[in-house]
Amino acid sequence: MTLLSRAALRAPLNPREKRIVHIGLGAFHRAHQAWYTQHADDGWGIVAFTGRSPKVAATLNHQDCLYTLVTRGEAADSFEVIDSIIEAHDGADLVALAAAVAHAQTSIITLTVTEAGYHTVVGAHPARLDAESPAIQRDLANLRGAYASDASSLGSTPHPSLTLETVPARLVMALAARRSADGWPLAVVSCDNLPGNGDVTRAVITELAALVDPLLAQWITANVSFVSTSIDRITPRSTPEDSAAVEAATGFTDNSPVVTEPFTSWVLEGDFPTGRPAWEKAGAEFVQDVEPFERRKLWLLNGAHSLLAYAGQLRGHATVDQAIADPVARAWVEEFWDEAASHLGEPSLNIPEYRAALLARFENPRIAHNLAQIAMDGSLKLKARAVPVYEAERAASRTGTAALRPLAAWCDYLVRTAAERIADENTERSALPDPNAAALERALQLNAPESSEISTTHALIAVIDRDLAADQAVLRAIHNLRGTFTAPRGL
């Protein structure tokens, strides 16, 4: 078979300009922002950088940054070659990142780096940079060292010896390059599942910049807009079978296809001082207040996903469609939605229609969305997805039991996972997939003999929210829900 490439395609591709820099080159970006940019059809191109591993960039470069987007409906697949990404780089290539951001025609930086990638203080409101985290401390020392030796080393061509491991530090370095080059304004657009993601991004970037150079922080405040968004498109991990399906359907070998669902949504609030693509042509919405749409998505879709991720696995399921087909798990989701929906009263949110669409999306058996993938980073996700629903219920003088259930399921899931890792002597003891893994491991180890006791519940919930853990009535309510997720025999 012929490798997918620009030369191999029979139809010529439209030329694109370097106008967008993206950090976090993963499947979701390629199913979402890159797809919207493709369908804006106005010549904007994306220079993309990986987050953790350079592998995706290397694979895409072998096929001229083209890839196949597989839209997986309930009955059939559709296949589309996406060409909106025009360069792909290792995220650690700071010289390339600085040059891309400093490029005069660059107008937008988009981010998909997960909740953990922002390095905020857990539980802080408003959000602020965790300046004491070891990774931020290392990057701060490197930035200060580069600045002390020669301020121009943070200019358009940083010294090749400079290394930075966190996205906030890399972005500060790149914005310094922009400032030293031409200083034109631009927009930073967070596309991660964080409440007020634009405000969160502004906080961590300006705070880190101020620790390096207060004048740089002032320039960022005056010249960089931070756009808040609500993003939505289920994008499971691709498999070798997906690559084979692409080859059979298109005649091209694609070593980096992306599988997604037909549904997609993008709601944005904020300014684009030097322009943007016509994303509205593809269905994006530009609003004055994105916060209600954020709450709808975080609570109804993401909250239900987290509930299914923990309760579903405890009940023996592996994917979202399997878990939602379990009548007990489905009832828990509906109860959670009932509580959340009572605090989503804006007519523009169309909650009944949104819930019906979510069920149809969850039930799609051809989207194999793994619960283990969703379960990662639970201590951050539940803080945004379940705790606010409970707090709203408590403020309305109701129990909020359904909103506490994901927290209880998470506790049981962690305890069971820890026990399985200890029991399996052949399994390497890797860290829990959570940014607060050290605190969770410590809580589990200290309470191992009494893992079913309320002391364990307290220790785990305190990692998410200390105030919640300190409330004895709430703690008891969560603890009483533990142990209720085991599937009946034969399910």
Residue 148 reports pLDDT greater than 90: no
Which of 219, 225, 199 is closest to 154 using CA atoms? 219
* Residue 80, burial from CB neighbour count under 10 angstroms (0-12, 13-18, 19+): middle
Matching residue, tokens 């309305």: 396
Average pLDDT of span 247-266: 97
Kindly state the percentage of the chain with pLDDT values over 90. Answer: 87
CA distance 165 to 140: 10
CB 63 within 8 A of CB 243: no
Average pLDDT of span 16-29: 97
Reported in sequence order, the residue ranges of 73-107 that DSSP labels E, i.e. its strands, are 77-82, 85-89
Tell me, what's the pLDDT at 488?
A: 55
Residue 182 reports pLDDT greater than 90: no
The two tokens of residue 140 are 């701060």
How many of the other CB atoms lie within 10 Å of CB of 71?
19
Give the model's confidence band at 489: pLDDT under 50 very low, under 70 low, under 90 confident, else very high: very low
CA distances, 101 to each of 18, 287, 445, 450 (Å): 10, 26, 45, 52
354-361's contacts with Cβ under 8 Å and 24+ in sequence apart are: 354/296, 354/300, 355/300, 357/263, 358/300, 358/301, 358/304, 359/324, 361/234, 361/261, 361/263
Tell me, what's the pLDDT at 432?
A: 87
CA distance 284 to 300: 20
Higher local confidence (pLDDT), 10 or 429: 10
User: Alpha-carbon torsion 113, 117, 123, 126, what sign?
Assistant: negative
Higher local confidence (pLDDT), 489 or 351: 351
Matching residue, tokens 């239900």: 304
Lowest mean pLDDT among 1-15, 22-36, 42-56, 254-268: 1-15
Residue 98 reports pLDDT greater than 50: yes
DSSP 189: E
CA distance 281 to 293: 20
CA distance 114 to 397: 34
Give the model's confidence band at 356: pLDDT under 50 very low, under 70 low, under 90 confident, else very high: very high
CA distances, 491 to each of 64, 116, 327 (Å): 47, 35, 10
How many of the other CB atoms lie within 10 Å of CB of 422?
13
Which of 162, 159, 78, 166 is closest to 114 using CA atoms? 166
Sequence letter at residue 141: A
Mean pLDDT of the chain: 94
Which of 301, 313, 163 is closest to 232 using CA atoms? 301
Residue 152 reports pLDDT greater than 60: no
Residue 338 reports pLDDT greater than 80: yes
CA distance 286 to 178: 26
DSSP 405: H
Query: Could you give the residue ranges of the DSSP H alpha helices within 251-396?
Result: 291-296, 303-307, 313-314, 320-324, 327-341, 351-363, 371-374, 378-385, 387-395
Which of 487, 450, 461 is closest to 122 using CA atoms? 461
Which of 48, 57, 56, 45 is closest to 18 using CA atoms? 45
User: Alpha-carbon torsion 399, 402, 405, 407, what sign?
Assistant: negative
Q: What is the pLDDT of residues 218-239, one digit of tens each?
A: 999 999 999 999 999 999 999 9
User: Alpha-carbon torsion 218, 224, 227, 232, what sign?
Assistant: negative
